[in-house]
Copies of this chain bind each other. A is one copy, B any other.
């Protein structure tokens, strides 16, 4: 399933006992609709408050008597409008939403205006200080290519001893000026480690405020030291846009 959701209403994707999460809501609804217990796999485990337009979710169901359109309509009726199944299809037996993914694309929206906007507030980071878009464009360059992103990744709990590799290959990172102060950052990589996009955006916006320049960013990347990167950009500006298989 390709799923869009407004993350404002959820404590992230991953199911957690006692918390309202996207994955938990989808799994219990699919159970109700199909009468089968399903184990959901998602392409990217979004954090609390992060949105998705093109999250991909896979799970197993018996093929007999499967009416996909009916499942989609039923899930949308029960979970909507904050979670919407945009597409649903049968995948090859070895398809895995996470391991089969070749690339993930995220969008991060900054609202750079004097005054906030009630309609854009749920999906953008309001930055009232003047931003130098040219500096922010320059600050994207150091991230492109294959790097160890340890400076921009949060080590998950219990993983401090045998840390997994933080090498990731970024194939695109650029800003679109959508006009009227709406700045959209697009980034695509084979995969992302935890909080990587928000950490990169925090650093690039610092460059836009003239607190950092592109040369410093290269040094931070090379240092592989989490304490050097800027504060995280807030979760609600981030959206998992598309997953490629």
Q: Which residues of A contact B (CB under 8 A)?
A: 4-6, 51, 53, 72, 76, 80-86, 115-119, 121, 123, 126
Give complex CA distance A123, B201 in Å: 28
Report which residue of A80, A115, A118, A123 has the largest number of chain B beta carbons within 10 angstroms of its beta carbon. A118
Contact of A115 among B5, B84, B123, B126 (CB under 8 A): B84
Given A82-B121, A121-B81, A126-B81, the answer on whether A116 and B76 have CB atoms closer than 8 Å is yes
Contact of A116 among B51, B80, B121 (CB under 8 A): B80
Contact of A118 among B5, B72, B117 (CB under 8 A): B5
Give complex CA distance A169, B115 in Å: 34
**24 A–B contact pairs at CB < 8 A?**
A4-B117, A4-B119, A6-B118, A6-B119, A51-B119, A53-B119, A72-B115, A76-B115, A76-B116, A80-B116, A80-B118, A80-B121, A81-B117, A81-B118, A81-B121, A82-B118, A82-B121, A83-B118, A84-B115, A84-B116, A84-B117, A84-B118, A85-B115, A86-B115
Q: Which B residues lie within 8 Å of A123 (CB)?
A: 119
Give complex CA distance A5, B115 in Å: 13
Q: Is the interface of A mostly helix, strand, loop or mixed?
A: mixed
Minimum Cβ distance to chain B for residue A145 (Å): 32
How many copies are assembled? Answer: 2
Given contacts A6-B118, A81-B118, A83-B118, 17 further A-B contacts (CB under 8 A): A4-B117, A4-B118, A4-B119, A5-B118, A51-B119, A76-B116, A80-B121, A81-B116, A81-B117, A81-B121, A81-B126, A82-B118, A82-B121, A84-B116, A84-B117, A84-B118, A119-B123
State the 4 A-B residue pairs at the shortest beta-carbon distance, nearest first.
A81-B121, A6-B118, A81-B116, A84-B116
> Closest B-chain residue to A52, C-beta based?
B118
Q: Which B residues lie within 8 Å of A121 (CB)?
A: 6, 80-82
